[in-house]
Structure 1
Amino acid sequence: MIQQECNHPLYSQFDLNEKLAIISGTPFLLIKQSKTLVFGDLHFGQEYAIGLLDCDVSTEKSILAEYLLRTISDIRKTITIDNLVLNGDIKHEIFGTNGQEINSLQYFLNDSRVADLQITLIKGNHDVLLRQSLRHIQHNNITICDNICEPPICIFHGHEDNSNTECEIIILSHEHPSFIFRGNNFEKVRIMAFVTLKSKTNTDIVILPPANFISSGV
């Protein structure tokens, strides 16, 4: 029996408008013109910080980092990507760090699957010590900043007031949006979701779901 190769893409685009598209089944938003993938609220190190792990696992492979890398690699098989923007809360502990957090950052940023991309890290409210956590990572393709504002699109983490920004489109993270479905026997299923809004000034606002699949939503 001859097996035929399947050319059907694992991930496809769902267009929000002429400038943005959701990558189906992922927490990634695509800025079409600049070929940029945007995602936020990774919260590397959260499993250890909230007690889901019994040890520091500083030498263990990060499950979340590997999931993100594998997904990005699969997306790139059918969609051209030149840039990554990690939109805040990249690490979990606000005023400290742990081995899992540092290991996850190193594992993700040092991986060959993203080595040819320009990577921008936007600082969120959990990223007070982000630069210290990255002290062993030195790549020319990595930039750290507070936000990106290149009209018509601005990207903010979302923990600060940026309401005076004059942009056609604002991309936010921070809120961890989700839907909750409740059953008859008190069971509950939470599904992370993208949220799109229109402001009073006619600005399009997109709120991203968390990239960390154990982060609770609102």
Structure 2
Amino acid sequence: MVDDIIFGARILDLALEVEDHLIISDLHLGYEEALNYQGIMIPKFQYPKIIKRMEEIHSRSDCANIIINGDLKHEFGKINRQEWKETLKFIDYLKERFQKIILIKGNHDPLTPIIAEKTGLEVYPYYSTGNFIVMHGDKIPGKWDEITEQKIIIGHEHPSVGIRSGERMEKVKCFLAGDFRDKKMIVMPSFNFITEGSDVLHEKPLSPFLKEAKHDDLEVFGVENFETFYFGKISHLLNVQQEPYPYDSHFIEF
């Protein structure tokens, strides 16, 4: 386990603590029902896991405010029954625990303003905490030179890292940290428990931020059960995987 501070932000499992703001990203509530519509029959298990994880995170945090950094719900062009039920319950849950709830618009959120209006909230394209600016990460703002904050936090990418032991590989959700243009950047993992996300070692990046940044120079911080593990830069992990025996046992000791 390593120090869990990146650029002044504290990693708290799948969340970040930044200047009295707790940040989570990419919940994709209602994902199970969307999969059921596609013929992929899985039980609706994610919401209880989200609440259980949030309870543990909240018990370890003193933040008064919470930011949901995009993709609160999953469906693009409609609000399915599961999304209505779970998003309203989740927002009520947050209102009981935080003074302010900030919703950032993600690429899955064209209809989230309807939910926000019903619950008395607003949806922001981005949000400043003071030293950090939080945005979803599906597009780079056009007026970049007008952003005065020196640190940015994005989601959207759902980063994970493929950890190999012999012939077996498992994905571990991770944070990424590095430079983007003239700023420091943190990429958050998804707060979604149906998939682990996109493997930064073996899959092409989705976010335009990741496509432009020096991908191999990004540092990887794996998270597992409230512990943070520093894996080094992506370039280091790629070099290690090319060796005859991909990982030494001490490198991934959970």
TM-score (normalizing by structure 1): 0.76
8 Å contact kept, 2:162–2:172: yes
2:178 to 197, 210, 213: 197
> 2:171, 2:108 → 1: CA distance?
23
Matches within 5 A, 1:61-72: 63-72=45-54
The answer for the alignment partner of 2:35 in structure 1 is: 50
> 1:75, 1:182 → 2: CA distance?
28
Q: How many residues align?
A: 189
> 1:54, 1:157 → 2: CA distance?
28
**1:101 match: secondary structure:** helix
The answer for the alignment partner of 2:77 in structure 1 is: 95
1:206 counterpart = 2:186: yes
Structure 2 unaligned regions, length at least 5 = 200-254
The answer for the alignment partner of 2:131 in structure 1 is: 152
**1:79 match: secondary structure:** coil
**1:193 match: secondary structure:** strand
The answer for the alignment partner of 1:40 in structure 2 is: 25
Matches within 5 A, 1:89-168: 89-111=71-93, 114-117=95-98, 118-134=100-116, 137-139=118-120, 142-162=121-141, 163-164=144-145, 165-168=147-150
User: Given residue 6 of structure 2, which amino acid in structure 1 is its aligned partner?
Assistant: L
> 1:212, 1:71 → 2: CA distance?
11
- Structure 1, residues 51-95: CA drift from partner, whole Å, max 9, x if none? 34479xxxxxx7433333333333333431201100001111111
Structure 1 unaligned regions, length at least 5 = 1-12, 56-61
Identity %: 24
> 2:45, 2:86 → 1: CA distance?
8
**1:50 match: secondary structure:** helix
8 Å contact kept, 2:159–2:174: yes
> 2:165, 2:60 → 1: CA distance?
38
8 Å contact kept, 1:88–1:121: yes
Structure whose residues are more often strand by fraction: 2
2:61 to 68, 79, 86: 79
8 Å contact kept, 1:97–1:133: no
CA RMSD, Structure 1 to Structure 2 (Å): 2.3
Q: 1:150 to 1:114 in 2, by over 3 A?
A: closer
Structure whose residues are more often helix by fraction: 2
> 1:87, 1:38 → 2: CA distance?
7
Q: 1:129 to 1:81 in 2, by over 3 A?
A: same
- Structure 1, residues 111-140: CA drift from partner, whole Å, max 9, x if none? 2x64241101101010001123456x434x
- Structure 1, residues 139-187: CA drift from partner, whole Å, max 9, x if none? 4xx33211113542100000111344332110000011110123544x4
**2:51 match: secondary structure:** helix
8 Å contact kept, 1:154–1:171: yes
Q: 1:74 to 1:54 in 2, by over 3 A?
A: closer
Q: 1:72 to 1:54 in 2, by over 3 A?
A: closer
TM-score (normalizing by structure 2): 0.66
